[in-house]
Amino acid sequence: MPLLGSQLMAKLGASLPTSTDEVRYCCPFCVIRGKSPDSKYHLYINVVKEKFRCWRCGVKGPYEYLLRLLRLPREVAIIEDVRGQLDSVDRDDVPGELTEIPWPVGYRLLSPGDLAWEYLLGRGVSVEQIRDYQIGVAQVDLYRRIYFPGFDAAGSLVFLVSRNYIYDEEPRYLNVGLRGVRRRFVWNLQRITSERLNTLSVCEGPISAMVSGRSGVATLGKVVTGLQCSEILRASVSRIYIELDGDAREEAFRLWCQLGSRRDGVYLVPLGLDDNGRKEDPASLAPGEMSERRRSAWLYSEAQALRVRLEAVYGCSRASG
């Protein structure tokens, strides 16, 4: 017999849909594993991979194992029920279309004295940027996370990037938005058009994008989709700098070639690992060093791409552009 929503809620409580193929619940197993009760929806059920995981206590496995833990019969179709919940959330959404979403409950802008405020200042984000980008926190669910709002060209809220500022908390990033939006959304790209900026710096995360400068945008990951590439190519700028994190050199090289083969003025900024083996990104470099890296960036051409690919010291030296 299928597991109805009421039966699932009786075991796990209310669910929280996400912008991916997952549904979140407060984990009932955290207490059993010696932790305080979960109130922040750390248990994820992936309805495509048919697996579950709690990012707090670590319990994980296939959904059949979850059924056993919940003492439910094996024939219960938990995945079908969860898929139904996702379908009900996304039924009016066309994958990839930017659609306005509500602000989180209890959302407020950061202010001096907040731990999140101090965290961002320590990462190189300015007070003006915190206010200008409307960065804030919420009082429910993701309270220990910083929200970076994402807007479309009309100024409507269409996506939220949240990042923890407590280093031992996982997962580090959680995105909020209708399913499919992540594949085409580029954080802060609307500012490039509205302010008619002349350059564009492609970074992975919002913090790196802000530290990179007003023209910084974030792809929300090292793997950049074709839809995101198309959005970036539409920007009327004279220069595009690829500034993905130092552990994404292959992805950065691929993006450089994808964009550079379709337009002029695309530069690859050399970022790699520092002397301690930590990845470099715009937020980790000393003040002024990012500007120096841009001055020695590689302008795309087929010949230059071949030289970069063949150089054994790629990421350590500065090839001429």
> What domain count does the chain have?
3
In a domain, 304, yes or no: yes
Q: Is residue 168 classed as helix, strand or coil in its secondary structure?
A: coil
Q: For position 265, what pLDDT does the model report?
A: 96
* 63: CATH: 3.90.580
What is the model's pTM? 0.67
| Residue 47: band (very low, low, confident or very high) from pLDDT cuts 50, 70, 90 | confident
% of the chain beyond a pLDDT of 90: 32
Per-residue pLDDT reduced to its tens digit, 141-190? 444 788 999 998 888 998 888 888 876 555 677 777 665 677 889 999 99
In a domain, 315, yes or no: no
* 273: CATH: 3.40.1360.10
Question: Minimum mean pLDDT among 16-20, 40-44, 265-269, 316-320: which range?
Answer: 316-320
In a domain, 319, yes or no: no
For residue 21, the 8-state DSSP code is S
Same domain, 124 and 78: no
Same domain, 262 and 292: yes
Q: Is the dihedral of CA 114, 117, 121, 122 positive or negative?
A: positive
Same domain, 23 and 80: yes
Domain that holds residue 283: 189-310
Amino acid at 231: E
* 162: CATH: 3.90.980.10
Whether 148 and 135 have beta carbons less than 8 Å apart is answered as yes
Same domain, 11 and 85: yes
Same domain, 74 and 113: no
Q: What are the φ/ψ torsions at residue 189 (nearest 5 degrees)? A: -65, -30
Per-residue pLDDT reduced to its tens digit, 103-126? 877 889 999 988 899 999 999 999
| Beta pairing class for 157-164 and 216-218 | unpaired
Same domain, 54 and 164: no
Q: Is residue 62 classed as helix, strand or coil in its secondary structure?
A: strand
Alpha carbon distance 110, 55 (integer Å): 26
